[in-house]
Amino acid sequence: MKKLIQTTVQTALMVGAAVAPATAFQLTPIGTYSTGVFGQSAAEIAAYDATTQRLFVVNGATSAIDVISISDPTQPTLFSTISLSAYGAGANSVAFKNGVLAAAVENIVKQDPGSVVFFNADGTFLNSVTVGALPDMLTFTPDGTKVLVANEGEPNNNYTVDPEGSVSIIDIASGVLNATVKTVGFTQFNNVPLDPSIRIFGPNATVAQDLEPEYITVSADSTTAWVSLQENNAIGILNLITGEFEQLVGLGFKNHSLPENGLDASDRDNAINITSYPNLFGMYQPDAIASYTVNGKTYIVAANEGDARDYAGFSEEVRVNSLRLDPVAFPNAAALQRNANLGRLTVTNTLGDANGDGLFEELYVFGGRSFSILDAEGKIIFDSGSEFERIIAERVPNFFNANNTVNDFDTRSDNKGPEPEGVAIGQVAGRTLAFIGLERIGGIMLYDITDPFEPFFLDYVNNRDFSVVFNSAGPTPAQLTAIGDLGVEGLLFISAKDSPNGIDLLVTTNEVSGTTTIYTVAVPEPTTVLGVLLFGPIAVKLRRRQQTRG
């Protein structure tokens, strides 16, 4: 019997590509709600109420929340809308728990304090509280006693007003009507030494002004929050018992001289060229983060999108061909600065000239073009390296590093590539899966992260029809319907126990196409010995070994 199993395993691995899907997990789109609005952020972030089986989706085009019924997830329909015009300039994020919907609403003057507005599941106003400047992502703690909101505190366009970034802790333990707010900033880090990979670089800014909270994830016991500080290339660790930030952790820099960290750096070479370069580094700069627990320890999954400060009063974005490169560090500078090489690559002018002589010894790009896993102390224990670009090159070569507004080839290689932005984590069939949304070319990268030290790629699914061609004015209504999803912004996992059809679901909100799409996350039934070996735990381990070696 042992010999039979060994022979069958070998046969399964040899013929698996021909007879089975690339992964034991099938991510299948089953339904889409479309606003019919292109390029106006008409579908940004979603929250879900399992009781009413409704999604709450931020619609930036109408400054409202679209309430979408998914009682039949194959036919999502608009149930109602919740106008936010009375509360500010519009919502940036929503969250739902225990019958309460929370929306982060920015002020009409973005640098002034914003609000978190609470509604019940039917959209009836409950309460509103004042929080910090430019409230963005918000989340309930797992125990439901608090709502946390990341207040970015972005400067105005002239960079003459720069509010402090902060996180507001809204205590709702005594009910939403009795909510209290504590807004926590970073003043304790002013004038103290910081990790040099933490970027503090805004004109005349204190540390507290410069730090811009982007996204929050909370430990399972509701005592600790991790906050991504995207522009700053850092993570803040917030103690929810004391209500103070305990630590700022710099994420370091990705070494693009290593073969496993190669990237395609040019949009003008008419080719896919994923390679490594000396003295080229990446700032991870995660946008969305999420967390999960393994053996009692918390791990954070980060989508390393990258983001630059680009204002009328201050901009850090430059192309490599506009810089003077140090001849010792870059003896082949003339060749590197050609458009087909590094010439058009977008980098920061705030790093790389260590001695201030006007010559750049190193170059730093925005984002990691990857996802990372961090331990609870903020140390990166895994990074996907160049896998995203390599997978796209294999799966969608004709539209490699396409933009999200036109079906083109290689137009984003000079600036953040596929731009991983959203992340969600789900437990499916005893495995922990990470779903990472790509903002530019679109689609979802699916990884098994059950072992945070040995994640492995499962599949890449893109609900975008690249055959639909439209002009610069944008798609017609018929084309918009046909093209599918553009510009993945948010991801939401709905477990089988909470979903309307009893199947694990993934919801994507796509800001360019204005669509909300529902996927099933399923495991094919292993009905034969071969099926068991292809899709069961043995096959998972065997594939992991192969992919790790590869």
pLDDT in tens, 38-67: 999 999 999 999 999 999 999 999 999 999
The strand pairing partners of 58, in sequence order, are 65
CA dihedral sign of residues 442, 448, 451, 453: negative
Q: What amino acid occupies position 120?
A: N
Task: Please say if the pLDDT value at position 459 is more than 60.
Answer: yes
Query: Does some domain include residue 176?
Result: no
Query: Does some domain include residue 219?
Result: no
Which pLDDT score is estimated for 524? 63
Q: HSE of 433 in the Cβ direction (CA atoms, 13 Å)?
A: 30
Which pLDDT score is estimated for 168? 98
Which pLDDT score is estimated for 272? 97
Neighbours of 79 (CB within 10 A): 18
Given a contact cutoff of 8 angstroms between Cβ atoms, the answer to whether 46 and 507 are in contact is: yes
Token pair for 283: 């700032």
The strand pairing partners of 185, in sequence order, are none
Q: Read off the pLDDT of residues 113-150 as tens digits, 9 standing for 90 and up.
A: 999 999 999 999 999 999 999 999 999 999 999 999 99
Task: Please say if the pLDDT value at position 314 is more than 50.
Answer: yes
Which pLDDT score is estimated for 526? 54
Task: Count H helices and E strands in the chain, helices first.
Answer: 7, 35
Query: Does some domain include residue 454?
Result: yes
Q: How much of the chain, in percent, has pLDDT values that exceed 70? A: 91
Torsion angle (degrees, nearest 10) of CA 399, 404, 406, 412: -60
Which pLDDT score is estimated for 238? 98
Given a contact cutoff of 8 angstroms between Cβ atoms, the answer to whether 169 and 148 are in contact is: yes
- Give which of 509, 461, 464 is closest to 483, Cα–Cα: 464
Global pTM value: 0.92
Query: Does some domain include residue 513?
Result: yes
Distance (Å, rounded) from C-alpha 423 to C-alpha 304?
Answer: 10
Which pLDDT score is estimated for 473? 81
Q: Is 401 helix (H, G, I), strand (E, B) or coil?
A: coil
Confidence of residue 3 (pLDDT cuts 50, 70, 90): very low
Q: Is 176 helix (H, G, I), strand (E, B) or coil?
A: helix
Task: Please say if the pLDDT value at position 266 is more than 70.
Answer: yes
Query: Does some domain include residue 146?
Result: no
Phi, psi of 33 (to 5 degrees): -105, 125
Which pLDDT score is estimated for 543? 40
Confidence of residue 523 (pLDDT cuts 50, 70, 90): confident
Q: How does the average pLDDT of the chain come out, rounded? A: 92
Q: Is 128 helix (H, G, I), strand (E, B) or coil?
A: strand
Q: What's the N-to-C CA distance of the chain in angstroms?
A: 30
- Give which of 544, 478, 488 is closest to 516, Cα–Cα: 488
Task: Please say if the pLDDT value at position 408 is more than 60.
Answer: yes
Token pair for 86: 């009375």
The strand pairing partners of 245, in sequence order, are 238
Token pair for 161: 């007003």
Confidence of residue 23 (pLDDT cuts 50, 70, 90): low
In Å, what is the CA distance from 262 to each residue of 351, 385, 386, 538?
20, 8, 6, 32
The count of structural domains within the chain is 1
Distance (Å, rounded) from C-alpha 257 to C-alpha 31?
Answer: 43
Helix axes 537-549 and 2-19, enclosed angle (nearest 10): 70
Which pLDDT score is estimated for 538? 43
Distance (Å, rounded) from C-alpha 367 to C-alpha 221?
Answer: 31
Q: How much of the chain, in percent, has pLDDT values that exceed 90? A: 89
14-36 mean pLDDT? 68
Which pLDDT score is estimated for 20? 31
Annotate 207-262 with DSSP letters as a single string. Answer: HHHH--EEEEEE-TTSSEEEEEETTTTEEEEEETTTTEEEEEEE--EEETTSGGG-
Query: Does some domain include residue 334?
Result: yes
Tokens 């430019």 identify what position? 134
292-317 mean pLDDT? 98
Q: Is 200 exposed, middle or buried (0-12, 13-18, 19+ CB in 10 A)?
A: buried
Task: Please say if the pLDDT value at position 292 is more than 50.
Answer: yes
The strand pairing partners of 428, in sequence order, are 431
CA dihedral sign of residues 129, 133, 139, 141: negative
Q: What amino acid occupies position 347?
A: V
8-state DSSP, 163: P
User: Could you tell me which residue, 523 or 151, shows the higher pLDDT?
Assistant: 151
Confidence of residue 4 (pLDDT cuts 50, 70, 90): very low
Distance (Å, rounded) from C-alpha 338 to C-alpha 269?
Answer: 10
Q: Read off the pLDDT of residues 462-519 as tens digits, 9 standing for 90 and up.
A: 999 999 988 878 899 999 999 999 999 999 999 999 999 999 999 999 999 999 999 9
Which pLDDT score is estimated for 469? 87
Task: Please say if the pLDDT value at position 282 is more than 50.
Answer: yes
State the pairing for strand pair 234-239/515-522: unpaired
Query: Does some domain include residue 285?
Result: yes
Confidence of residue 400 (pLDDT cuts 50, 70, 90): very high
Query: Does some domain include residue 162?
Result: no
Question: Which residues contact residue 515 at a Cβ distance below 8 angstroms, ignoring those fewer than 6 apart?
Answer: 32, 33, 34, 35, 43, 484, 485, 486, 509
8-state DSSP, 20: S
| Domain encompassing residue 342 | 21-91+251-523
